Amino acid sequence: MRELFVWYRVDDRNADALRAEVEAMQRSLEQRFAGLRARLLIRREADRQTWMETFARVPRTSGEAGGVDAAIEAAIAAAALALRPLLASDRHVEAFEIVRSAEGP
């Protein structure tokens, strides 16, 4: 299964407004794509913050592979365009394949 990790920088003055926008975007994507789970992680620094969004998708049936495919990744990127005015940096997207999880191989 493939998971996405998206990080970017945020100025403190935009953090509250951006957080509401990111949470709404993530909930909308979770409703649109069955099994999608999104999280927001924040590392606070001097006058800026580094934010990371994670996206994972569990299989809906026992025969399905699950993971974040190209269509879901494109939908995430399209939804995130509205966030750009509040960001202090570009969004950096990293994709990783799960080799082993707590649930097993």
What is the model's pLDDT at position 101?
66
What is the reported pTM?
A: 0.88
- Phi and psi dihedrals of 46, rounded to 5? -55, -70
Q: Is the pLDDT score of 102 beyond 80?
A: no
Q: Is the pLDDT score of 18 beyond 80?
A: yes
6: which DSSP letter?
Answer: E
Q: How many CB atoms lie within 10 A of CB 58?
A: 13
Q: What is the mean pLDDT of the chain?
A: 92
- Phi and psi dihedrals of 96, rounded to 5? -130, 145
